[in-house]
Amino acid sequence: MTQMESLWRHGIKTGFIGAVTVVLLALIGMVEAFSQRDIIAGVISMGHALLLVIAIFMGYIAAKRTALSGIGSTLINSVVSGVIIAGSLVLLILLGSWVNLRSIFMNASPALYSLLTFGIEFKNGWTFLLLAGALCGLVAGLLYQSFPTFRRILITSLSSVIIAGVLQDMLRPTLSAWGPISVISDWLFSSNGLSLSGAITLCLVIAVILFIWFQKRDILRTRFSRLPSSGQRTLRMAGYVLLVGIFLVLPQVLGLFLSEVLTIVGLYVLLGLGLNIVVGYAGLLDLGYVAFFAIGAYVTAILTSPELGFFSLTFWQALPFAVILGLLSGVILGVPVLKMRGDYLAIATLGFGEIIRILVLSDFLRPWLGGAQGIGRIPKASIGGYEFATPQQIYYLILAGCAFVIFISLRLKDSRLGRAWKAMREDEDVAQAMGINLVATKLLAFATGAGFSALSGAIFASKLSSVYPHSFNVMISINILCLIIVGGMGSIPGVIVGAVALVGLPELLREFAEYRLLVYGAALVAMMLLRPEGLWPEVLHLRELQDAQSSSADSETPAPSGARI
In this structure, the strands spanning 386-387 and 382-383 are antiparallel
Q: What angle do CA 361, 362, 363 make, to 5 degrees?
A: 120
Query: Does the structure show a pLDDT above 80 at 35?
Result: yes
**CA dihedral angle for residue 240, residue 241, residue 244, residue 249, rounded to 10 degrees:** -150
Looking at residue 66, its amino acid is T
Query: Does the structure show a pLDDT above 70 at 8?
Result: yes
Which pLDDT value is given to residue 513?
Answer: 66
Query: Does the structure show a pLDDT above 50 at 565?
Result: no
DSSP 8-state symbol, 510? G
Contact (CB, 8 A) for 289 and 353: yes
Give residues with Cβ within 8 angstroms of 96, minimum separation 6: 108, 113
Average of per-residue pLDDT across 496-522: 79
Percent of the chain with pLDDT strictly greater than 90: 30
Model confidence band, residue 1 (pLDDT cutoffs 50, 70, 90): very low
- Please give the Cα distance from 294 to 458 (Å, whole number): 9
Q: Dump pLDDT digits (tens) for 532-562.
A: 778 888 777 667 666 655 555 555 544 443 3
Beta bridge partners of 194: 40, 189
- Please give the Cα distance from 145 to 62 (Å, whole number): 12
Q: Dump pLDDT digits (tens) for 237-257.
A: 898 889 889 888 888 888 788
Q: State phi, psi for 375 to the nearest 5 degrees.
A: -130, 130
Query: Does the structure show a pLDDT above 50 at 371?
Result: yes
Query: Does the structure show a pLDDT above 60 at 138?
Result: yes
Average of per-residue pLDDT across 497-503: 87
Q: Dump pLDDT digits (tens) for 388-429.
A: 988 999 999 999 999 999 999 999 988 999 999 989 988 888
Query: Does the structure show a pLDDT above 90 at 176?
Result: no
Q: How far is CA 62 from CA 78, 531, 533, in A?
A: 5, 15, 20
Average of per-residue pLDDT across 347-354: 88
Which pLDDT value is given to residue 555?
Answer: 54
- Please give the Cα distance from 303 to 315 (Å, whole number): 8
pTM assigned to the model: 0.85
Average of per-residue pLDDT across 288-300: 93
Average of per-residue pLDDT across 375-387: 87
Which pLDDT value is given to residue 496?
Answer: 92
Query: Does the structure show a pLDDT above 90 at 136?
Result: yes
The distance in angstroms from the start CA to the end CA of the chain is: 23
- Please give the Cα distance from 82 to 8 (Å, whole number): 12
Model confidence band, residue 322 (pLDDT cutoffs 50, 70, 90): very high
Query: Does the structure show a pLDDT above 60 at 563?
Result: no
